[in-house]
Amino acid sequence: MWRLFVSFLLIAYLIPLALANNQFKTEHYWVRIEPIASGLNHPWSIAFLPSGDQLVTDVQVV
């Protein structure tokens, strides 16, 4: 659950910061932004599989 929260935080708030540079420092850590999917209209959620792979969903907004 924690990884999901962090993923949403990065997507929602930190992507604009990463456009100029894909690495930045927070108060305690260095964070590197790496795209995991492209061509999504409305990214909705990320699920982490035991293997480390990720499932990303996109919703259809009318």
Of 3 and 48, which is predicted with more confidence? 48
Q: By percentage, how much of the chain surpasses pLDDT 70? A: 76
14: Cβ–Cβ under 8 A, 6 or more apart, which residues?
24, 31, 33
pLDDT for residue 50: 96
Mean pLDDT of 47-56: 91
Answer whether 29's CB lies under 8 Å from 42's CB: no
Domain containing residue 18: 2-58
Give how many domains the chain has, as a whole number.
1
> How much is the pLDDT for 19?
57
Residue pair 40/58 in contact (Cβ under 8 Å)? The answer is: yes
17 pLDDT above the threshold of 80: no
Residue recorded with tokens 């990065």: 10
Looking at the DSSP assignment, which residues form a beta bridge with residue 24? 31
User: Looking at residue 23, what is its pLDDT?
Assistant: 80
